[in-house]
Amino acid sequence: MIAVGAIAELGQGDPWLGYKLALGVGVVAGVLQIVLGLLRSGVLGEFFPTAAVHGMLAAIGIIIATKQIHTVFGVVPAAQAPLWLIAEIPHSLMNLNPEVAVIGVGSLLILFGLPMIEHEKLRKVPGPVVVLVLAIPLGVLFDLGHQHTYLFNHHLYAVGPTYLVDVPSSMLDAMTYPDFSAVTTAVGVKYIVMFTLVGSLESLLSAKAIDLLDPWQRKSNLNRDLVAVGAGNMLASLVGGLPMISEIVRSSANINNGARTRFSNLYHGLFLLGFVALVPGLIHEIPLAALAAMLVYTGFRLASPREFINTYRVGKDQLAIFTTTVVVTLATDLLLGIGAGVGAKILLHVLSGAPLRSLFRAKVEIEDEGPAIVVRVHDAAIFSNWIALDSRLAKLDSDRDLVIDLSGTRLVDHTVMTKLDELRRDVEARGHTFEVTGLERHRARSEHPQATREGG
């Protein structure tokens, strides 16, 4: 939406001029993102509570699925906002294009059905590959490459190339170069700031969200991610690409298909580039309904009912934060949604007795007790003061045993319990012991090992 706004406001009625001016703004914003990464601003990604980030993921999944389900049915929705897109699903279902829907719904059946097959070898076959193998011949059979109409059940339907993936015949012809004449104007500066701050924050949130999906629970280098996103935006804007953020959909698809390293995203991008550059004709044969089905499936995986159930098991407070984030994101946008989740969590913490002085600054005492370093935390250990606490922990001798004493806290939230579990793995991986003490008198809000503790 920022990109659309930049093109409209910078162009002042001339979309082509606005597009080129927005590219110039994108180049500058990319340079600033690189600077933010080099200044180690990625630490801001550690601020957001786990339940809110999970809620953001679920909301993104719902948005993806609700946008693409209409394409599965071969219908162009009138709505744009997620909640209106959800409301329009029955209308699209009643007015589906039969030939397109055969491809789209058939693709969905394959994607959801393959994991249910018990045959070990068949389950290893990637669902998207099976979809493409069947969808492309169906597209040829229905002659989607040529505009025409057909009669079905006494209704006339139109199909044509608009139902196939649209790619430029030559990448060189599609390149557009930026115009930097607006970067020093008030409007230009406004969009440079918006692209830089909003894009950086959404990229950090996306990276943190993917960390939660990682089966090995590894942590991204958020500073390096900022530098990479900035470099990508700068280079893309130089040749006609509008600014972007770290991509949840591609990373999620890679994880779902067994990817183990960051090279999966590199290979994913290189294969896309190679196919678009070398065989655009083959890409053009892919029905949009098949790709939409893949995105619906990915969205469902992100917003699976299991996510709501798992969050409830951690605690009702976490479900409240999770649901708040989902609902506000769907009703507004990602940043307002995550902001609402953060606000809801702070409110719950204050109502649970967390002192105001501890909301953003942890009260910590560090003692050297022989073989171990003991860190005593007072008042509250919560998501909003974790950055301050983590910075103190990072300065400790990494070649020592570590004890975290939480007996002096009134509240220890789920995010900090999760962070302490990650810290335990890091310390034990270095061959030392890690212990959390002082929670004996705290009440857990659920039976989950990482549930919020209160009332020490």
Q: Is the pLDDT of residue 456 over 60?
A: no
Digit-coded pLDDT (tens) for 34-87 = 999 999 888 887 888 889 988 988 998 899 899 999 999 999 999 888 899 999
- Residue-wise pLDDT tens digits, 254-304: 887 788 888 888 888 888 888 888 888 889 999 999 999 999 998 898 899
Same domain, 270 and 160: yes
421 belongs to a structural domain: yes
Averaged over 143-153, what is the pLDDT? 94
Mean pLDDT of the chain: 89
CATH of the domain at 443: 3.30.750.24
Number of domains in the chain: 2
Q: Which of 319, 345, 368 is the last residue in one of the domains?
A: 319
The pTM score is 0.81
The 10s digit of each residue's pLDDT in 352-401 is: 888 998 999 889 999 987 789 999 999 999 999 999 999 999 888 888 99
Same-domain status, 32 and 108: yes
Any domain includes 341: no
Residues 284 and 398 reside in one and the same domain: no
Range of the domain at 72: 1-319
Residue 344 lies in a domain: no
Contact 226, 41 (CB under 8 A): yes
Tell me, yes or no, whether 309 and 371 share the same domain.
Answer: no
| Last-in-domain residue among 319, 348, 371 | 319
Render the burial of 361-377: b for 16+ CB within 10 Å, e for the rest: ebbbeeeeeeebbbbbb
pLDDT at 315: 93
pLDDT in tens, 166-196: 887 777 777 889 999 999 998 899 889 878 8
Q: How far is CA 444 from CA 123, 313, 325, 332, 434, in A?
A: 40, 12, 23, 33, 21
> Quick check: is 339 in a domain?
no
